[in-house]
Amino acid sequence: MGVCGTTRLRWGPVVRVLVLQAAWALGGGQVRYSVPEEAKGGTVVGRLAQDLGLEAGEAEARPLRLVSQGRRASVEVSGASGALVVSSRLDREELCGKSAPCALRLEVLLERPLRVFHVEVEVTDINDNAPLFPAATKNLSIAELTTLPGSRFPLEGASDADIGANAQLSYTLSPSEHFALDLQRSGEYRESLFLVLTKGLDRESLAEHRLVLTASDGGRPSLTGTVELVVSVLDVNDNAPQFNQSVYKVQVLESAAEGTLVARVSATDPDEGINSEITFSRSNTFPSGGLNLFELNLQSGEIRLQGPLDFEEVRVYELQIEARDKGTPPLSGHCRVVVEVLDVNDNAPEVWVTSLSVPVAEDASLGTVVALLSVSDRDSGSNGRVRCAVWPPSPFGLVATFAGSYSLVLREALDRERVSEYEVEVRAEDGGAPPLRASRGLRVPVSDVNDNAPAFAQAVYTVLARENNAAGAELARLWARDPDEAGNGRVSYSVAEGGAGAGSGSGSGSGWRPASSYVSVDAESGRLWALQPLDYEELQVLQFEVRAVDAGEPPLCGNATVQLFVVDENDNAPALLPPAGGGPGPWAAGEASASASAPGSLWAWAAWGAPAGQVVAKIRAVDADSGYNAWLRYELWEPRGKGPFRVGLYSGEVSTARALEEADGPRQRLLIVVRDHGEPSRSATATLSVSLVEGAEAALAAAGAVSAGAGLRPASGAEGGAAAAAAAAAAAAATNVWLVVAICAVSSLFLLAVVLYGASRWAPRAAVLSGPGPATLVCASEVGSWSYSQRQSRSLCVADGAGKSDLMVFSPNCPPPPGPVPKETPQEPPARLDTVSATRPPLTP
Helix (H) or strand (E) holding 727: helix 718-734
**Residue 602 contacts residue 647 (beta carbons within 8 Å):** no
Answer whether 562's CB lies under 8 Å from 464's CB: no
Of residues 223 and 782, the one with the higher pLDDT is: 223
- Residue 706: which pLDDT band, with cuts at 50, 70 and 90? very low
Least confident of 111-120, 735-744, 836-845: 836-845
Mean pLDDT of 237-266: 91
Residue 774 — pLDDT band, cuts 50, 70, 90? very low
Q: Which of 237-241, 434-438, 573-577 has the lowest mean pLDDT?
A: 237-241
pLDDT level of residue 104 (50, 70, 90 thresholds):
confident
**How confident is residue 458, by pLDDT bands cut at 50, 70 and 90?**
very high
Residue 374: predicted pLDDT = 93
Could you read off the pLDDT of 480-491 as tens digits, one per residue? Answer: 999 988 889 999
Residue type, 570: N
Query: Shortest CA distance to 808 belongs to which of 615, 674, 651?
Result: 651
Handedness of CA 601, 603, 609, 614 (dihedral sign): negative
The confidence score (pLDDT) of residue 46 equals 82
Residue 185's pLDDT is what? 75
- Mean pLDDT is highest, among 23-37, 391-405, 500-514, 585-599, for 391-405
Q: How confident is the model at residue 352 (pLDDT cuts 50, 70, 90)?
A: very high
Please, which contacts does 416-419 make with residues 24 or more away whose CB atoms are closer than 8 Å?
A: 416/362, 416/446, 416/447, 416/448, 416/449, 416/484, 416/485, 417/452, 417/483, 417/484, 419/446
556 pLDDT more than 60: yes
d(CA 123, CA 56): 28
* pLDDT value at 105 more than 50: yes
Report the range of poorest mean pLDDT among 48-57, 272-281, 803-812: 803-812
Note the pLDDT of residue 767. Answer: 33
Burial code (b: 16+ CB inside 10 Å, e: under 16) for 46-74 equals bbbbebbebeeeebeebebebeebeeeeb
pLDDT band at 271 (very low <50, low <70, confident <90, very high): confident
pLDDT of residue 697: 58
Distance CA 275, CA 238 (A): 9
Averaged over 653-671, what is the pLDDT?
86
Q: What average pLDDT does the structure give for the chain?
A: 76
**What pLDDT sits at residue 388?**
93
* pLDDT (average), residues 434-445: 92
For residue 150, give Cα distances in angstroms to 185, 298, 327: 19, 28, 21
pLDDT at 409 over 90: yes
Confidence at 596, pLDDT banded by 50, 70, 90: very low
Query: 800 pairs with which residues across the strands?
Result: none
The pLDDT of residue 791: 38
How large is the average pLDDT for residues 291-310?
A: 91
CB 351 within 8 A of CB 424: no
Q: What is the mean pLDDT of residues 320-338?
A: 90
The DSSP line for 640-655 is: -SS-SEEE-TTT-EEE
By percentage, how much of the chain surpasses pLDDT 70?
75
Q: Is residue 651's pLDDT more than 50? A: yes
> What was the pLDDT predicted at 340?
93
Query: CA-to-CA distance for 708 and 582, rounded, in angstroms?
Result: 10
Model confidence at 23: pLDDT above 70: no
- The mean pLDDT of 754-764, rounded to a whole number, is 71
> What confidence tier does 56 reach under pLDDT thresholds 50, 70, 90?
low
Lowest-pLDDT choice from 503-517, 550-564, 758-772: 758-772
- How far the first Cα of the chain sits from its last, in Å, is 147
Q: Is 751 exposed, middle or buried (0-12, 13-18, 19+ CB in 10 A)?
A: exposed
* pTM (predicted TM-score): 0.45
Angle subtended by helix axes 736-762 and 718-734, to nearest 10: 110
pLDDT at 16: 34
**Range among 271-275, 483-487, 783-787 rated most confident:** 483-487
How does pLDDT run across 120-179, given as a tens digit for each residue? 888 887 888 888 888 989 999 887 777 788 888 888 888 887 787 787 888 899 999 999
How would residue 830 be classed by pLDDT, with cut points 50, 70 and 90?
very low
Residue 200 Rama label (left phi>0; alpha psi -120 to 50; beta): beta
Provide the edge-to-edge strand list for the sheet that holds 170-173. 137-143, 224-234, 208-216, 170-173
Taken in order 308, 312, 314, 315, is the CA torsion positive or negative?
positive
Distance CA 720, CA 689 (A): 13
Mean pLDDT of 830-843: 31
State the pLDDT at residue 699. Answer: 57
Return all residues near 249 (Cβ < 8 A) that are at least 6 apart: 338, 340
Cα separation, 670 vs 599, in Å, equals 11
DSSP for residue 453 = -
Distance CA(794)–CA(281), nearest Å, equals 129
Q: Which range, of 240-244, 622-626, 831-835, averages the lowest pLDDT?
A: 831-835
Is 788 a residue whose pLDDT tops 50?
no
pLDDT for the residue 737: 62
pLDDT of residue 714: 41
521 has a pLDDT exceeding 90: yes
- Output the pLDDT for position 318: 93
